[in-house]
Amino acid sequence: MNAATTALLLAFAPARGELADAPAPLAFLHVESNVDGASGGHSALRVGGFVYHFQHGDDGLLELVRDDWTGFRYVYAGLENRTLHLAHVDAAPADVERVARRCASAYVEEVTALDRAARRHLDAGWFDALRDGRLAPPIRGLGLLADAAGALPAAGAGELRTAVLAAFGARFLADERARSEQAIAGFALAPAATDLEPWREQVATDAALRALEEGRPLAAEAAFDDVDPAPLSAGERAALARARDAQTATILSLLRSARCDRGFALLVAIARHRAASLSLERGRLVVLDPFPDDAPRFAPERWLEPESVAAQARLAVRALEAERAIRRAVLSAETFVEADWNALEDVSARCREARRGARGEPVRVRSLRMVPSRGRVVAARPAVADAASRAALAHARVERTRCEDEERRAYRLLDRNCVTELARLVDSAFEDPADETRALGGRLDPDRGLGFIPFVFQERVVARLRIAREETILNHRLTMLARVEAQEPGLLTSLREATARASTIYRPRASDGDFLFFTDDVVGLRPLCGAANLGWGVVCGLGGVVTAPFDGGRRLRAGFHGAFFSLPELVFANVRKGSFDSAEEPPPAEPPPAEPATHE
C-alpha cells in the first residue's frame, strides 16, 4: 500500500482515538481474521461503552463476553492487529437502551448462572473432602487476614475495634461471635440438600468478627507495597485517611446488615482498612492483592515463545503507567469510591505479575476485573453425617448443570457461533419482528445462507438495517504504516514495511508463524506473496526438524504454522496479519490535558 492509498483509507477510516471515541450508541462490529482461533473473523456489538460478543471457549462452549470498548479496541485492533469495521445503527435512544438492557440482562444472567454452577462444584469438593477426611477447599475472603497474630502488624486495628464498640456497645463483638458460633454449630442440611454456601458464609462472618475482636493483621501474602515505591505525599496521606474512615463506615453498616453473604464484604473492608492504616504507618502505598485463588498461573516452561518475557516487561511498563494515572486520581479524590480503589488494586497487581513474568517467574493472569478474595482452608467442618451420599448427590447436580449448559451453549460452527448468537440476542430485545424493523430498520436472519460467517453477516447488517454511518478502525500495523510512510515517503519504505523481517513496525513473533510478506494490504500480488510465504514457511519448518532437539520444536511449529496460514493467500484470501505484544502509538500533537477527578 502506498502513502496516498493509506492516507485515503485513513481519511475514511479515522485512527483510533478520533471518531472512534465519538458517541456511538449502537454499532455492529466485524473483526477481521487472524491466525488460529481468529481465522474465521469475529462479530460483536458495541452498545455505548461496552462491547458484547460470544467467544468459543476452551471447554467448547460459547460464552457471552462483555468488554469495555477501550480495552476491546486495544486488544483486537492493537495487539491482535485486526481491522475493525463498524456499522453504526440509526436508532432512537429508547431503542438503543432496550438493546443495552437486553444485553446487560443476558450477561448478568450468564455470570450469575456460572457463579451458581461454581458453587455447586465447590459443594461437591466439600462433600468429597468430608467423605475422605481430607482438607476442604478454601473459603473465599478468609485468606485476606492472618489466621493468627503475626505476619504484618495490625495497623489501625485498635481504632477500628474502638469504633465498633462505640457504635454498638462493649459486649457487641463477644455477643455477635457467640451467636455466630452457635449458628455454625447448629447448621443442618435438609434431606437431599447439598448447598453448603450458607455454612461457608457463616464461617466468613465469624472470621470477620474474630478479626475485629482480636485485631488480626493482614495475611502476609494478601497485600503488597512494592509496585510503586513513591513515598506518600501529604495529600495522599489525607486521602488514605479518608479511605480508612470510609472502610470504618462500611464495616459499621455491614455489621447492622443481616445479609447472608456480608461476611465476605466485611473481610474485604477490614483488610482494606488494615492496608490503608499500614500505608499511613509505612509512608508508602500498600494495596490488597485481588487475584482470586483460581486465577490461572503460567509457569515459564509453558510459555511457547522466548519473546513472551520481553512482552511481560512491556506489559509491566504499561501497567505502571496506568497505576500512576489511577493513583493520582484516587489519592487526590475528596471521597472514597470503592470501584476506583479497586481499579488501583487491580492494575497494581497486574503490574506486579507482569514484572514477575519479565524475570522469567510464573505469572498469574485474569481476563476479568478482580475484587480481593484470597481464600483460606479452615479446620472447621459442617456437621454432615452422610457425606458419601451427599457427595454423590452433589456430583450428580454438577453433572446435570454441565449437561444443561452444554445443551444450551455448545459451539456449532454453522448454527451456534459468535454471529448467530449475537443476532438472536439483538432479536430478543424486541417484542416481535415488526417492532425490531421499526427500531433498527430491519431484522437479522443469521440462519439463512452464509449468514453465520462474520464477514457475510456484517454485509447483511449494512444492507438490511438503518445504518447511520460506517467506520473502519485500521489495525495497529496499518495505522503505524500510514505514519511511517507520511514521514518517509518512497518505494523503499513501502517495500521495507511490507516484509515481516525488515519492518520497523512489526517484530516477528513465533505465535504468528514464519512468513515473509504481509498480505492484508495487497490484493493483486497476494497469491505471489502467498507462494513466497508458503515456501518460506516450509523451509523454516524443515530447518526446524533439525533444531527440534534443541528448541523443543519451536522453529518447526512456527515454520509449518506459517506455511499453513499462507495457503488462503494463494486464492486471494488473507487471514494472517501479524500481532503485537504492545501497541503503543505516538501521542497526538496536542494531547488533551488529563483532568483530576472531580467529586461531588
Partner 1 sequence: MNASSSLFVLALAGTGCGSIRGSIDSVSDSSAGVIESLKSPFVASSKSSGIGGTTEGSANYQRDVHSYALARLVCDDEPGEFLRGMSRVAELHGVSDWEDSPDTYAALQGLVAADELDAAGVARLRDGLAPLGPDKVARAFGETSPQR
**3-state secondary structure string across 410-432:** ECECCCECHHHHHHHHHHCCCCC
Pick the closer one to partner 1 by CB: 128 or 345.
Answer: 345
**3-state secondary structure string across 190-237:** CCCCCCCHHHHHHHHHHHHHHHHHHCCCECCCCEECCCCCCECCHHHH
Q: Which of 6, 250, 479, 533 binds partner 1 (CB under 8 A)?
A: 250
What count of Cα atoms within 13 Å lies in the side-chain half-sphere of residue 251? 31
Rounded Cα distance, 85 and 82, in Å: 10
Site for partner 1 in 116-155 (CB under 8 A): 116
Q: Which of 36, 132, 294, 406 binds partner 1 (CB under 8 A)?
A: 36
What count of Cα atoms within 13 Å lies in the side-chain half-sphere of residue 370? 23
* Contact in structure between 271 and 146 (CB atoms under 8 Å): no
Binding map of partner 1 across residues 150-189, x = CB under 8 A, - = no contact: ----------------------------------------
* Contact in structure between 140 and 373 (CB atoms under 8 Å): yes
Pick the closer one to partner 1 by CB: 17 or 153.
Answer: 17
User: 100: Cβ–Cβ under 8 A, 6 or more apart, which residues?
Assistant: 47, 48, 50
Check the CA dihedral 426-427-431-437 and report its sign.
positive
Please choose, from the candidates 17, 20, 14, the residue with its C-alpha nearest in 3D space to the C-alpha of residue 584. Answer: 17
Pick the closer one to partner 1 by CB: 39 or 502.
Answer: 39
Q: How far is the CB of 531 from partner 1 (least distance, A)?
A: 16
* C-alpha cell at position 299: 509457569
Indicate whether 46 belongs to the interface with partner 1 (CB under 8 A).
no
Indicate whether 259 belongs to the interface with partner 1 (CB under 8 A).
yes
Q: Classify 56 as helix, strand or coil.
A: strand
Span from 150-158, 162-170, 247-255, 379-387 in contact with partner 1 (CB under 8 A): 247-255
Q: Percent helix, strand, coil in the chain (nearest 5)?
A: 55, 10, 35
* C-alpha cell at position 226: 512494592
Pick the closer one to partner 1 by CB: 131 or 397.
Answer: 397
Pick the closer one to partner 1 by CB: 368 or 377.
Answer: 368
Q: Which residues of 36-70 are buried (b: 16+ CB within 10 A; e: fewer)?
A: eebebbbbbbbbeebbbbbebeeeebbebbbbebe
Indicate whether 444 belongs to the interface with partner 1 (CB under 8 A).
no
Q: How far is the CB of 154 from partner 1 (least distance, A)?
A: 21
Provide the residue type at 83 as one letter. T
Site for partner 1 in 372-401 (CB under 8 A): none
Span from 52-60, 278-286, 424-432, 530-538 in contact with partner 1 (CB under 8 A): 52-60
The residues pairing with 30 across neighbouring beta strands, listed in sequence order, are 43, 85
Indicate whether 40 belongs to the interface with partner 1 (CB under 8 A).
yes
Q: Which of 9, 14, 19, 56 binds partner 1 (CB under 8 A)?
A: 56
What count of Cα atoms within 13 Å lies in the side-chain half-sphere of residue 427? 14
Q: How far is the CB of 237 from partner 1 (least distance, A)?
A: 20
Binding map of partner 1 across residues 308-337, x = CB under 8 A, - = no contact: x--xx--x--xx-xx--xx-xxx--x-x-x
Pick the closer one to partner 1 by CB: 365 or 486.
Answer: 365
Indicate whether 412 belongs to the interface with partner 1 (CB under 8 A).
no
Indicate whether 257 belongs to the interface with partner 1 (CB under 8 A).
yes
Q: Which of 18, 49, 404, 585 binds partner 1 (CB under 8 A)?
A: 49
Span from 143-151, 399-407, 484-492, 568-576 in contact with partner 1 (CB under 8 A): 568-576
Span from 107-115, 150-158, 207-215, 384-392 in contact with partner 1 (CB under 8 A): 107-115
Rounded Cα distance, 538 and 544, in Å: 9
Span from 75-83, 148-156, 384-392, 467-475 in contact with partner 1 (CB under 8 A): 75-83
Q: How far is the CB of 302 from partner 1 (least distance, A)?
A: 7
Q: How far is the CB of 94 from partner 1 (least distance, A)?
A: 12
* Contact in structure between 599 and 538 (CB atoms under 8 Å): no
Q: How far is the CB of 198 from partner 1 (least distance, A)?
A: 7
Indicate whether 363 belongs to the interface with partner 1 (CB under 8 A).
yes
* Contact in structure between 579 and 532 (CB atoms under 8 Å): no
Indicate whether 476 belongs to the interface with partner 1 (CB under 8 A).
no
Rg (CA), the chain: 27
Q: Which of 211, 453, 478, 529 binds partner 1 (CB under 8 A)?
A: 453
Residue 243 CA, distance from chain mean position: 26
Pick the closer one to partner 1 by CB: 43 or 503.
Answer: 43
Site for partner 1 in 289-308 (CB under 8 A): 296, 298, 302-305, 308
Indicate whether 268 belongs to the interface with partner 1 (CB under 8 A).
yes
Q: Which of 19, 104, 378, 468 binds partner 1 (CB under 8 A)?
A: 104
Q: How far is the CB of 74 from partner 1 (least distance, A)?
A: 4
Binding map of partner 1 across residues 205-234, x = CB under 8 A, - = no contact: ------------------------------
Pick the closer one to partner 1 by CB: 359 or 466.
Answer: 359
Indicate whether 368 belongs to the interface with partner 1 (CB under 8 A).
yes
Rounded Cα distance, 263 and 199, in Å: 11
Site for partner 1 in 532-551 (CB under 8 A): none
Count how many residues are written for the chain. Answer: 600
Indicate whether 197 belongs to the interface with partner 1 (CB under 8 A).
yes
Please choose, from the candidates 267, 271, 269, 236, the residue with its C-alpha nearest in 3D space to the C-alpha of residue 151. Answer: 271
Indicate whether 507 belongs to the interface with partner 1 (CB under 8 A).
no
H helix runs in 331-416, sequence order: 338-358, 387-409
* C-alpha cell at position 110: 450468564
Q: How far is the CB of 149 from partner 1 (least distance, A)?
A: 25
H helix runs in 62-135, sequence order: 69-73, 93-132
Provide the residue type at 407 as one letter. E
Pick the closer one to partner 1 by CB: 493 or 574.
Answer: 574
Span from 4-12, 415-423, 433-441, 483-491 in contact with partner 1 (CB under 8 A): 415-423
Indicate whether 462 belongs to the interface with partner 1 (CB under 8 A).
no
Residues 430, 435, 437, 439, Cα dihedral to 10°: -80
